[in-house]
Amino acid sequence: MNVIEIRAGSVDTNSLVLRVANLAVKLGDDGYNASTLEYEQAFVFSVLESKGVVYLANNGKYDVGFVLLEEMVRGRVVQLGLAYTVPEMRRKGIFEILTRRAIEDAKVHGFGKMVAHVAADGKSRKGLLKFGFEENKGKLTIGNEVPDLVLDLEKSR
């Protein structure tokens, strides 16, 4: 599995963002907000412009999944954002590979905590608990937002 790391201004960002957006529009098939390709593209660009990172997985034939790491403006907290794996490649550990990469990257960049917003019955919730994420229970607030899950990056070193 080839993981492509996309940062703002990296070579060929334009076409890479379009590749992520092409996957993101498929989220509609899973009952998530079905947006247009243009909207998804603009969203991915906005994540990159706020110093976020996109991790895109390619199986050697086509793009199979992505995870977004969104930088929070305040403090040393990063947010794990949208994630998607194409249906035929699910349960093969692609989300896990991408999320582990995001966690390692966040540690290297000196972040203290990673937060995630996930639905109570969301498919990614169970996976994140395996990585050491814990229920936030309102302990950490970022502006008006209260994340659902928190990972202490310093403890999980």
Ligand X SMILES: CC(C)(COP(=O)(O)OP(=O)(O)OC[C@H]1O[C@@H](n2cnc3c(N)ncnc32)[C@H](O)[C@@H]1OP(=O)(O)O)[C@@H](O)C(=O)NCCC(=O)NCCS
Q: Does 146 bind ligand X (CB under 6 A)?
A: no
- Which member of 6, 21, 52, 95 binds ligand X (CB under 6 A)? 95
Residues 150, 114 contacting (CB under 8 angstroms): yes
Q: Vertex 149, ends 147 and 155: CA angle to 5°?
A: 120
Q: Vertex 97, ends 120 and 15: CA angle to 5°?
A: 100
CB of 11 to ligand X, least distance (A): 27
Residues near 76 by beta carbon (within 8 Å), at least 6 away in sequence: 110, 111, 112, 113
Amino acid at 104: E
- Which member of 30, 38, 145, 154 binds ligand X (CB under 6 A)? 30
CB of 96 to ligand X, least distance (A): 4
Q: Is the alpha carbon torsion for 13, 50, 36, 121 positive or negative?
A: positive
Question: Which stretch in 16-24, 45-53, 104-112, 122-130 sits in contact with ligand X by CB under 6 A?
Answer: 122-130
Question: Which stretch in 13-21, 36-44, 89-97, 147-155 sits in contact with ligand X by CB under 6 A?
Answer: 89-97
Q: How many residues bind ligand X (CB under 6 A)?
A: 19
- Which member of 22, 35, 90, 109 binds ligand X (CB under 6 A)? 90
Nearer Cβ to ligand X (84/133):
84
Residues 43, 84 contacting (CB under 8 angstroms): no
Compute how many other C-beta atoms are within 10 angstroms of the C-beta atom of residue 75. 11
Q: Does 56 bind ligand X (CB under 6 A)?
A: no
Question: Interface residues with ligand X (CB under 6 A)?
Answer: 27, 30, 65, 82-85, 90-96, 122-124, 126-127
